[in-house]
Structure 1
Amino acid sequence: MRPDAPTRRRVITIFAAAAASAVAGSPARPQEADYAWRGVAMGADATILFNGVEPATARSAIAAAAAEIDRLEDALSLFRDNSELRRLNRNKQLHAPSGDMRRALALALDIAGRSGGLFDPSVQALWEAHVDWFAASPGAGVPPDELIAKARAAVDWRRITIEPDSIRTGADQRLTLNGLGQGYVTDRIADLLYSRGLRHILVDLGEQRALGPCQDGAPWLVARANAAPFALSGGALATSEGSGCVLGASGAAHHLFDPRNGRSASHWKTITVHHRSAAVADALSTAFYAASSDEIEALLPRFAGTAIWAIGHDGRERRWISPPVDGTVG
C-alpha cells in the first residue's frame, strides 16, 4: 500500500534542554518554573519548551495548543483520511474550504510563483511514482524517464484554483502541503501561545520558532551536525535534507524533488532557512534545496528578511542574507 505522506525529515534537533536543566550553559532553573511538552504534530515529533512559566499555566496552554494542532491536521494533513486535503485530492474540488486550508494553499501558490516553480504543492504525483516504483522493485535504480514524464504531467501549481467558495485542481493532480504544513502549524501554535501572554517559548513542530529568548536573555540553541548550533532568539528555522527520507533499498532517490525534471534535487546536502514565519522558512528550504547557487542569488531579493545556510556535498557552507534581518539568529 502506498503511503500518503513521506516520513518527515528530522534533521536538526533541539539542543536546548527543558529549562529545568541547564540551557546554553546557564545555571539550572527551579523545576517548578519550567515545563516541556512532547508529542506528534503533522507526522513529526513535536516539542514545546516553556521557560519561566508555572506548570499550571503551561498545562493550560498545551491543552489549547493540542486542540489547535488537531483542528489544523483536519485541514492540512495527508495522514488523515478525511482531512480537507485528502478530500480535495480524491474529488479534485473542495467546497467551503476552511480559512486555514485557504491560507496555507494560498501561501504555497505565492511561494510557487515567487520561486519560479521551485516550490510546487502538486509534486505529490512524483512522490507516488517513486514510492510505487520502489515498492515493486526495492533494489532498483531510479524510475525510468517515461514514468517520471507521466508523473510530471500532473505537476503544475498554476492549474490549482482558489475560488470564493471552493478549491479546484487539475483532474490528474494530487496536492501535498508537506513542504510548508509543519511550518504553518508551528506559526499558528506560536501565535496562540503569544496571545496568551507567553514569551519565553520555543515551538518545535518539525520546524523551530522562538517567541523570544529564555527568561534570562539566553538564546535557544538548535543543534546541527558537525557545526556550531544556531542561537535562536526569535523567528523560525527550517531545514531540508534529502537524506532525511531516502527511497529505495540503496537510497537511489530522496523525497525532495526538483519539479522541473521530476528527479531528486542534488545541489545541496542541507539547506537551512531563517525567516520570521516558520511556514515561509519551511517552503523556502524546500524550494532552495532544488536551486543552484546562482538561482538562490537571483531569487533571494524576492524574499526579504531571509537568511540561508547551504552545505554542499563537499562539506563547505555558503550563506546568503536578504535584508532586512532582525538579528535573532546566529
Structure 2
Amino acid sequence: MLPDRPTRRRAITIFASAAAVAIAGPASPARADFEWRGTAMGADARILFNDIEPAAAKGIAALVEAEIDRLENELSLFRSGSELCRLNRDGALTAPGGDLRRALALALEIAAVTNGLFDPTVQALWEAHVEWFADRSHTGLPPQAIIARARQAVDWRTVRIEPDSIRLGDNQRLTLNGLGQGYVTDRVADMLAVKGFANILVDLGEMRAIAPRRDGSPWLIARGGAGPLQLAEGALATSEGSGCVLGADGAAHHLFDPRSGRSAAHWRTIIVHHRSAAMADALSTALAIASADEIQALLPRLSGTAIWATDPAGRRSTWAAGPHDGIVG
C-alpha cells in the first residue's frame, strides 16, 4: 500500500521566507505585499505577490485553490478518483482531460530527449520498494528478482496517447510526480499572468518567477551550503534523493534509474533553471540519474537550461546549455 503523502524536503527555499515583506523591500502606502499559502501535489505551496494594490489581492486564494484542485483531479496520485489513478487502475482512460494529455505528452517528449532517463512508468519500481520496506524485517534493498519483475512494466515507449484515450502497456502504472509540481506551477503562474499579475513568485513545490520584484531586484532563492540564486524570471526545480527516502535506514530513495531499477547515486542535489517549471522539474528528475558525462552529452538537446549539481562528496558542477535568462548563480 502506498503512503498518501511521501515526505518531501526542500533543497532550495525562498530567502527570508518567514515574512514576505522582508524580501519584498519597501512598499508605497497604497500598496502592500500579499502571500498565499496552501498545498499542491503533496507539497507545501506559497505564492508571493510583491508590492500590489490590496484590492487586487482579494479573491486570489479562491482562484488559486480552485485551479490546483482542478489540476489535482487530473494529475494527482494522492487522490484515488483522479484521472491518473483511474488510468493506473484500468490500464486505459477514455476522454482524458486536456491537462493530463498535455502533461503526459510532455513526459514522453522528455523521455525521448533524455534517452529514457526520465520515464513516467517507473511507478512500478516505487511500488516494489514500498511493498518491500513495508516489512520491517527487511533492512537491505529489494532482491534483484523483485526489481527485475517490476522493471518489466517500465518502458515509456509502450504508453499510447490516442485521439480520445490513453492506453498503458501490460501491468504499467504511471507517475507524473517527476514533473507534476512544475506543471501545476506553470498553469497557476500563467493564470495569474493573464489576470495581470507580474511581480510574483509561484512556489508550488517548484518555483517560477513571472517577473522580478517591482523595483527590478531579483527574488533570492536560498540553497544549502552555497550562496543564494538570484531569480528574475523563469523557473527553478530541484531533485535530491534525501527528499524522499525509503526504508528505516534510508537504504533507497525515490529517484529510480529506469535502466537498473535502483536508486540513482551520482548526485546529492540537482538544481535546474528553465523558462518552464514543468521542463525544469522533469529535467532535474532526469539529470539526477545521469552521470556527468551523460549530462554533458545531453546539453545540445537542452537549450535554455542551466544546471547546478552537487555530488555525494560535496563537489559542485555547473553546466549551461545555450542562452538562458533570468538567473544568476
Q: Bin the TM-score by the shorter chain.
A: over 0.9
Deviation at 1:61, TM superposition (A): 2.8
The answer to whether the 8 A contact 2:244-2:253 is kept is yes
Change (3 A) 1:20 1:320: closer
Q: Any idea what SS the aligned residue of 2:23 has?
A: coil
Change (3 A) 1:5 1:158: farther
Q: Distance in 2 between matches of 1:49 and 1:273?
A: 21
Aligned residue number for residue 73 of structure 2? 74
Q: Distance in 2 between matches of 1:268 and 1:319?
A: 12
> CA-atom RMSD, angstroms?
1.7
Change (3 A) 1:293 1:275: same
**Counterpart AA for 1:60:** G
Aligned residue number for residue 100 of structure 2? 101
Change (3 A) 1:294 1:216: same
Deviation at 1:56, TM superposition (A): 2.9
Aligned residue number for residue 287 of structure 2? 288
**Counterpart AA for 2:134:** A
Q: Any idea what SS the aligned residue of 1:13 has?
A: strand
Deviation at 1:5, TM superposition (A): 6.2
Q: Distance in 1 between matches of 2:58 and 2:155?
A: 43
After superposition, what is the alpha-carbon deviation per residue over 1:208-238, rounded to whole angstroms, capped at 9, x for unaligned? 0001111111111111111111110100000
Aligned residue number for residue 202 of structure 1? 201
Aligned residue number for residue 113 of structure 1? 112
**Counterpart AA for 1:23:** I
Change (3 A) 1:171 1:219: same
Aligned residue number for residue 37 of structure 1? 36
Q: Distance in 1 between matches of 2:160 and 2:4?
A: 22
Change (3 A) 1:32 1:92: same
After superposition, what is the alpha-carbon deviation per residue over 1:7-37, rounded to whole angstroms, capped at 9, x for unaligned? 344222211448753327x447659511001
The answer to whether the 8 A contact 1:43-1:79 is kept is yes
Aligned residue number for residue 317 of structure 2? 318
**Counterpart AA for 1:318:** S
Where in structure 1 are there 5+ consecutive unaligned residues?
none
Q: Distance in 2 between matches of 1:279 and 1:308?
A: 15
Q: Distance in 1 between matches of 2:257 and 2:11?
A: 20
Q: Distance in 2 between matches of 1:320 and 1:72?
A: 33
Calculate the TM-score normalised by the size of structure 1: 0.96
Q: Any idea what SS the aligned residue of 1:22 has?
A: helix
The answer to whether the 8 A contact 1:5-1:78 is kept is no
Aligned residue number for residue 298 of structure 1? 297
Deviation at 1:316, TM superposition (A): 1.3
Change (3 A) 1:67 1:329: farther
1:7 aligns with 2:7: yes
The answer to whether the 8 A contact 1:19-1:35 is kept is no
1:328 aligns with 2:327: yes
Deviation at 1:157, TM superposition (A): 0.2
1:142 aligns with 2:141: yes
Q: Any idea what SS the aligned residue of 1:103 has?
A: helix
The answer to whether the 8 A contact 1:138-1:248 is kept is no
Q: Distance in 1 between matches of 2:30 and 2:3?
A: 41
Q: Distance in 1 between matches of 2:18 and 2:187?
A: 22
The answer to whether the 8 A contact 1:139-1:250 is kept is no
Deviation at 1:301, TM superposition (A): 1.0
Change (3 A) 1:72 1:327: closer
Q: Any idea what SS the aligned residue of 1:52 has?
A: strand
Aligned residue number for residue 91 of structure 2? 92
Q: Distance in 2 between matches of 1:178 and 1:5?
A: 12
Change (3 A) 1:249 1:3: same
